Amino acid sequence: MPLILAISSWVARGHVGLSAAIPVLQAGGCEALSFPTVILSNHPGHAACAGSRVAVDHLQAMLDALDQNGWLSDVDAILTGYFPSPEHVAFAASAIQRVRKLNPRVQVWCDPVIGDDPRGLYVPNDVAEVVRDRLLPLSDCITPNRFELQWLSGRAVTNQADAVDAARALGASLTLVTSVPAGEGVIANVAVTPTEAWSTTSALRNAVPHGTGDALAAAFLAARSAGRPVPEALGAASGAIDTIVAASLGRDELQLVQARDAWTTAPPAAVSPLTAPC
Coil, strand, or helix at residue 262? helix
15 neighbors 75 (Cβ within 8 angstroms): no
Distance between CA atoms of 249 and 251, rounded to whole angstroms? 5
Listing from the earlier edge strand, what are the strands of the sheet with 77-80?
Answer: 51-53, 31-40, 3-11, 77-80, 107-110, 141-142, 174-181, 186-192, 197-203, 272-273
Q: How far is CA 62 from CA 5, 66, 98, 100, 174, in A?
A: 12, 6, 13, 17, 30
Residue 206 has what pLDDT?
A: 85
Distance between CA atoms of 49 and 38, rounded to whole angstroms? 12
Cα dihedral 224→278→200→118 (10° resolution): 100
pLDDT digits (tens, 9 = 90+) for 21-32: 999 999 999 999
Where the chain has pLDDT below 70, the residues are 276-278
Residue 110 has what pLDDT?
A: 98
Residue 113 has what pLDDT?
A: 98
Residue 165's CB is within 10 A of a number of other CB atoms, namely 17
Residue 278 has what pLDDT?
A: 42
Amino acid at residue number 263? W
